[in-house]
Structure 1
Amino acid sequence: MGNDELHTLENNPRPTDHEALLAGPSKKGAWQKFAAFVWDKDYYDKSDAERSLVHKLDCSILTCLAFGYLMKYIDQTNLSNAYVSGMRADLHIKGNEYTYMTVIYNAVYCAMQIPSNLLALKIRPSYMLAACEIGWMTFTFAQAGAKTVNQMYVFRFFIALFESPFQVATIHLMGSWYTKNELAKRISVWFVAGTAGQAFSGFLQAAIFKNMDGLAGLAGWRWLYIICGIMTLPGGIAILMVLPDYPENTKVWFLTEADKQLAKARCAMAGTVASTGIINLSTFKRIFSRWHIWVLGPTYIVYAWSVQSYSYFNTYLLLEGYTVTLRNILPSVAFIIGIPVSMFWGYLSDRTGSRLGLTLGPQLWGLVPTGILCFFPANKAVRLFAFMVDETYFVTHIYFTWVNEICKADAEERAFLIAACNTLFYAFNAWLPTVVFLQTDGPRWKKGFPTLFGANIISCCCMVAIYFLYERQKKQLAAQGEVEPEVEEINHSSTLEEKE
């Protein structure tokens, strides 16, 4: 028997043990029915112990990771907000130097995605992410003191280095705890925290520019970085104290031994396999022998590029002559519009169980705003509308939920593929903007917006291809007498006795 099989036996009890652990007293009343309607559709059938466990996970995982993601996107948006709020003049930024700041960030972020996510299988995520938060905070402060463009290049390098593990480690960690009926909504909560960060950054910069510009001799955009650095510290402390790592190795203080065993049983019943801890040549041979990497990775490239118009909204407003306040407020309003829509997509995806419908549907709607910008009508109000609804066809949260489910049976592949999707996108994003979105080509960007429209069309086709490939995979497993873990939801009604 190999190490993989031994690890599986040690961390996954027998099926009868899973059912016994999931069974237990279950209060059933009006509240439970209401919660099942508005949140997890299987909430009514869960035992009290399982409800308590999920509540603990929500309070710890979602709180820590959502706040961290909010701060990550505040930082990412800060660069563009600072650029249009005085940084360009103060640092004497010329030509495409601002674009190069973005390119440096993307290149480093891209290079570190896979190594950092595989490292998170070896080092407890709570330790690694907390350390990264502190490094991230340090260089956020450093940006406030930048005197030259070259200094900003260096600071953006280190910001990317410390931010790189956060997104991919979060998606993998959440997929290690939550079940099919729960995951999309939770990733949606985490995802819209990033959107909220983008929105908050604009309002924060507008308020700072109005009330603090010149305070203590510092420009408003410098105060933005100082305040954000201060805000980052509590997040790092919280991650260190309450993030529960993985079900098979968590030592967090608020989970009892019974909670830990229940968590393992939930994962086993959902088909989510724990990491073997083995990463070697055979691991990569296994990963690259499957269709997943060859389809899911490229699909994410074209999808992620199809929604990139928001990255150029601030600059569009600057070049079209909008005021500093509107340059900060309008993108923030666009992000706010996207928050309830993204949450709704996540809710529907868990409620219906359809990952295809809730990735393809929003992407089809996205053809409208990307098409408007592609053909760039003379009416400025129509163009503004296209930018304002950009966030409504984001399905990143649903897509990564789907990736988690497709790769449930192999933790190493799941970690690698989540990171690989991001890596491939950032690999393209490190150079493609310098070709199709040069600052000197704005605000029309005759190469950039058609590229987004074309990516949107290809993305729709790719979502359909993933669906058929995954269905074929499940049929092949069924023909071989194997059970596809993703298909079989945890059937609480068959393992729990109704307790009045």
Structure 2
Amino acid sequence: MIIDGDYLRHERSLRRKLDLTLMPMVWVLYLFNYLDRNNIAQAKLDSFERDLGLKGNEFNIAVSILNVGYMLMQLPSNMILTRVRPSLFIPTWVCLWSCVSASVAGVHNFKGLVAVRFVLGITEAPFFPGAYYILSCWYTKKELALRIAILYSGLVLATAFSGLLAAGIFAGLSSVHGLAGWRWLFIIEGAASFAFGLIAFFILPDFPQSKTGSTKWLLTNDERKVAIDRIARDQVSNQDSNRSVWYGLKLAVIDWRVWVFAFILCANHTAYGFNNFYPTIVKGFGLGTRTITLLCTAPPYLIGARGDRSLHISIPMGVAAVGFIINVSVLNNGARYFASFLYISGCFAANSIVYSWASSSVSQTPEKRAIAGAIINLMSQLGNIWSPYFFSPGDEPRYVMAMLLMIGFSVASIVGCMVMRFTLARDNRKLLASFEGTGVRPNLYTL
């Protein structure tokens, strides 16, 4: 039995150790996960399309096909994750996706590009829902909201610095050893993520109840006991003792709140569909050379990284909608560049909040939490599949039709958010009524 004073001391020590090992490792891997997935946007500003002979909407197809593989693998991956060691499972996939991403440098035509991008989606799929689930196994709801926001900043910074990195590689390595700059981009980023994947084998912990992974050298027995106890105390008062993976799948599929969260995130991802075309959008502002254009893609994403601790989803998505409206309403390039700060920061802020909100709202069993997280992220990828087709090559660089659709999906996200808030408030009233007269106040859903 751990007395209160010791409990708090062990909890502080546990949280500090996790923040110095688990969080930085997952953050770096997520940065590379997104960097390797989206470096195709920077490659487009080099000789990428010309070298591969891409025509019409073939670039859009290459962007979109990754998400098909990504969707196919997410649910089975998270079901498996509940029964294996995360410290082995996740780094293995990191190393696999790194090799696949680097192999884009070796393609020479559209068919080869589509094949590699499809496999890249499969190999990258296990990481984010898996990392999201592992964090929810170690951090309480209150702690998780901040950690997910920090994790999401890895995506923001990856998107921001990808332009800076590409500018340096294109300027310094183009034609070195007979390779175009975009081929070096894929090789260098793939090699770097592979190196961090190897490091992750030694840094990532397994589950709190296990003594494997970094847990065996990082935590004391008392810290492990506290880790198990505090997560159990933190769950909404509707827990189920059935730990079957298939039962967890059933609970997730029949819980309509899972599908509302999926709708919200899908709308957010659709509104964020400008990302793969943002360098081209900035090019249309006429700010200067290719290098200057790539450098100018960074500042709006850095502003976005500062905004992702918001307590709401609807407000950031409202800000994003304002940015899209400005973009289609004015011709002044300065105003349109300013508008991009609004829609980038708004979309990033909203996306990071959905994940932490969903984690605390659909967790009757750990298996349900893992599977529901995968379903939500899986269904949200529909937004990434169809949004590239909003950006018709003949409509660049303003992409008026795409911007109008972004406005519509921003509003849809706000509506979904309000529906979920109403639903969880109703469920909280039911929980309070079920505990009435017991003298116990239940843990409620976060609104």
Q: With structure 1 as the length reference, what TM-score do the two structures score?
A: 0.82
Partner of 2:351: 396
Partner of 1:29: none
The residue type paired with residue 419 of structure 1 is: A
Cα distance change, pair 138–285 in 1 and its aligned pair in 2 (3 A)? closer
SS in 2 for 1:246: coil
Cα distance change, pair 306–289 in 1 and its aligned pair in 2 (3 A)? same
- What's the CA shift string for 1:237-257, capped at 9, x where partnerless? 222112112212352321222
State yes or no: 1:382 paired with 2:335: yes
The residue type paired with residue 365 of structure 1 is: V
- Measured in 2, the distance between the counterparts of 1:296 and 1:419 equals 11
SS in 2 for 1:123: coil
Which structure 2 residues correspond to residues 331-480 of structure 1 after superposition, within 5 A? 331-342=297-308, 344-345=309-310, 349=311, 358-373=312-327, 375-393=328-346, 394=348, 395-434=350-389, 436-480=390-434
Partner of 2:156: 195
The residue type paired with residue 84 of structure 2 is: I
Cα distance change, pair 285–341 in 1 and its aligned pair in 2 (3 A)? closer
State yes or no: 1:288 paired with 2:288: no
The residue type paired with residue 381 of structure 2 is: Y
Partner of 1:330: 296
- Measured in 1, the distance between the counterparts of 2:55 and 2:380 equals 27
Listed as ranges, the gaps of 5+ residues in structure 1 are 1-19, 26-45, 350-357, 489-500
Contact 1:309–1:387 (CA<8 Å) still a contact in 2?
Answer: no
- State the aligned residue count: 434
Which structure 2 residues correspond to residues 131-142 of structure 1 after superposition, within 5 A? 131-142=92-103
- What's the CA shift string for 1:41-86, capped at 9, x where partnerless? xxxxx72211110011112211111010110121123111011122
The residue type paired with residue 417 of structure 1 is: A
- Measured in 1, the distance between the counterparts of 2:387 and 2:48 equals 24
* 1:319 positional shift: 5.1
Contact 1:188–1:397 (CA<8 Å) still a contact in 2?
Answer: yes
Cα distance change, pair 426–148 in 1 and its aligned pair in 2 (3 A)? same
Partner of 2:202: 241
Contact 2:159–2:301 (CA<8 Å) still a contact in 1?
Answer: yes
* 1:236 positional shift: 1.1
Which residue of 305, 308, 326 corresponds with 2:270?
305
* 1:181 positional shift: 2.6
* 1:95 positional shift: 1.2
- What's the CA shift string for 1:283-319, capped at 9, x where partnerless? 4443333331232121221122223333321122345
Which residue of 191, 204, 215 corresponds with 2:176?
215
The RMSD of aligned alpha carbons is: 2.2
Partner of 1:32: none
* 1:22 positional shift: 6.6
* 1:432 positional shift: 4.5
Contact 1:109–1:160 (CA<8 Å) still a contact in 2?
Answer: yes
SS in 2 for 1:447: helix
- Measured in 2, the distance between the counterparts of 1:59 and 1:157 equals 34
State yes or no: 1:168 paired with 2:122: no
The residue type paired with residue 473 of structure 1 is: D
Partner of 1:150: 111
Which residue of 54, 59, 68 corresponds with 1:93?
54
- Measured in 1, the distance between the counterparts of 2:364 and 2:203 equals 27
Which residue of 71, 74, 85 corresponds with 1:124?
85
Which residue of 27, 31, 42 corresponds with 1:66?
27
Partner of 1:17: none
Contact 1:121–1:277 (CA<8 Å) still a contact in 2?
Answer: no
Contact 1:134–1:233 (CA<8 Å) still a contact in 2?
Answer: yes
- What's the CA shift string for 1:189-246, capped at 9, x where partnerless? 1110111111221111101111121222221111111211221123212221121122
Partner of 1:278: 244
Listed as ranges, the gaps of 5+ residues in structure 2 are none
